[in-house]
Structure 1
Amino acid sequence: MRCQVCDYELWHCTGRTCPECGANFSITDFDYQDEEVLFHCPHCDQGVEGEPPHGLPPARVQQCESCGLAVGLDLYVIRPSGDYKAESFGALLPIRQTDGNWITRYFKTVWLVLTKPQNAISRVPVQEPLWNAWKFFLTTLFILMTVGLIPAVLILLFANVGRTGTSFDISVLGFVFLLQIVFVFFFTCVYAVMWSLVAHLILQITGGSTFTLRRTLQAILYGGSACIVGIVPCIGGIASFVWWVVATTNMIVRGQRVHGSRASVATLAGPIFFVTCVCGSYLILIFSILEPALTRARSTAQTIQQQQQIQVDTNQVNSEDG
């Protein structure tokens, strides 16, 4: 049970204001696990259990059964029962909730990241396994690649309608498409890891961060759902990358509790570093390919120049003898 603004732990709070950042909250913002949370009277500490479906205490109860003083949803002090130390399931990303079908929950999460990235990262517990963020990111890549290949597959099928002996060609092209998908998955995952390392390093150099590298990687992976914009023809590729950078910047601001300027520098450092490495590698490759040809061209030019000079000298000697 954490503050949606600053991620502060809200167990045992006697008010409805976050002690860390001062943001207001309500216990109805969260869902609670049955038999693992107790709602305590602020006067005598008598605990009551919540009721399905959200694990909240009965709203009809306005008076404590033990001391007879007033209680209510805005007065209870919430504590884990027994030795239970985990967080409540409340204020989670839609993809982590159980209401509705998976597709609806997935696109609600994507929309939340695209429109309210700071709110989205606030719904991701710091202790959440990184595999959850990776699954969401890889799912987005899979949807993007699948939708992107549909036009190519349709064109291929229509081009081979009525033709014979094309099954081999189709299978080869299908294999090429599969290799392309694997390459994009591998390349993008490596890029996300490198990006998080560079961004977190910049944060440490410029003043440190509240949480570890895990939080930075969570921001980049969940922010990667902006890649879904790449489905849009023509401008989708550029728009999705820009949106990814913007969403990640906002998530780092909230997730790591740093100033926007520091988050911007840290977020942009990764792409700049990557582009520099790619362009530098490309120039080195081109130069290594062209250097032998340039060397041969220079050698040939020198040889021709020497031959021309010899011819000029010979003609001059002959003219003097004549």
Structure 2
Amino acid sequence: MTTGGGGVEEPTAGGPARHLPVLLAEVLAALQPADGDIVVDGTFGNGGYTRAILDAGASVIAIDRDPSAVATARELASGYDGRLIPVEGRFGDLGAIVAAHGGRVDGIVLDIGVSSMQIDTAERGFSFQKDGPLDMRMGSSGPTAADVVNRLKIGDLARIFGFYGEEKQAGRIARAIVARRDERPFTRTLDLAGVVGKVVGRSPKDKIDPATRSFQALRIYVNDELGELARALVAAEQVLKPGGRLVVVSFHSLEDRIVKRFLRDRSSPPSGSRHLPNLAPVSQTFVARNKAVAASEEEARQNPRARSAKLRSGIRTDEPARTGSDALEFAALPSLADLPESGD
């Protein structure tokens, strides 16, 4: 899903960062693909990781919900003698996808966020710097960002901007959106960015566009990105072979927090106390690295979208997978499936 990574729109969008997979050397070091391995690239994007994994001799199941990315994967597959299997789908469904292609795998890599190609293509509706339809869908179905801002209630919009975007002005932005849509609905990205910009304002010290956090929040919500990530982590625990490796590159604190909590939970034994000494035993299903890996100064200079990247990884033990995803709970927000006909 990402090729430059992350969904933080940089002024250089469309420039040299476009085809640079973030933390490629670090991903390969953590993943260690080898001849005969089967690796899932759950976020194919432009195929930067997949190409490197194939060149190391492994086979790849490449998943992406974007039809254009899948088309790229199919073109690439012709040069790798059946070792690349493109799949149009969500990486949150990788459990079922892997089951349909043989069962268990040696590695899984996920690059979380919107792709450089999607940001750079105005027609996809992700950009607050280029005018386009207010879409933001990574796939080709479901409600758009325009549906969300035109139909959700003030309180629900404020929660989305506040939680997914960590936007301090979430309530004011939501009120401004509802007041404006009463005059005419939002259909274009720059229209929405303009309304948000007037509310948030911008001082000379600001390093990001005032619409950044709101657009990020809408994108995460429209594509259920945190839910997809949570489902993918649980599925990875189920389909990785003993010794299999899970590698996740994230670009947002909420995503990184989910990955960190999952690996910490799955790699730590229960801690008792003199008051509660007999905690029920739980299986340690992963051996996790202690610290996240960040991009080097040189990579961040060459590819600005790598600045916020964090890589976390774990190695699957031979313990049985746990049931449930208690370590992955996060705030409940209005469901896209229940999107009202209007925001009234």
More helix by share: 1
Structure with more contact order per residue of length (Cα contacts < 8 Å, sep ≥ 6): 2
Bigger Cα Rg: 1
With normalisation by structure 1, the TM-score equals 0.29
